[in-house]
Amino acid sequence: MDTLLSSCYQFIESCIFKCVLTVNKKQNDPLKGVTLSHMKLYSFLTGPDDEAFCKRVSEKLNNGWQLYGSPSLTFNGKTVIAGQAVVKEVEGEYHQTINLKSM
């Protein structure tokens, strides 16, 4: 069972849950008469429920990300693991090579 929990923790920690949700929203700019494309970015932060995790979430919030849903907590047999989804809307078109860490 410890091996399974450890594997799950590593899976989450490796940020495989990071994904990008794309919503191409067209907005008309009345000043320029052009259509802007926007995309929504999604990231799921995980880690031990400690100060370092809170700082990672705070950093995202201070870089324009917003909390999405409630935080989640689980226990891996040794530590409490926290998770928090965040979203951010930015201009541009989504592409597979987008780097979420640079956003």
- Per-residue pLDDT tens for 40-93? 999 999 999 999 999 999 999 999 999 999 999 999 999 999 999 999 999 988
Q: Does pLDDT of 1 surpass 70? A: no
Q: Which domain holds residue 7?
A: 2-102
φ, ψ of residue 99 to 5 degrees: the values are -105, 105
Which of the four pLDDT bands, split at 50, 70 and 90, describes residue 35? Answer: low
Specify the higher pLDDT residue, 19 or 62. Answer: 62
Beta strands in 1-102 (DSSP E): 25-29, 34-48, 66-75, 80-91
pLDDT of 32 over the 80 cut: no
Number of domains in the chain: 1
Give the integer Cα–Cα distance in Å for 30 and 20.
29
Against a cut of 0.85, is the pTM above it? Answer: no
Looking up tokens 């950093």 gives 59
The pairs formed by 30-34 with CB atoms below 8 angstroms and a separation of 24 or more are: none
The radius of gyration of the chain from alpha carbons, rounded to an integer in Å, stands at 17
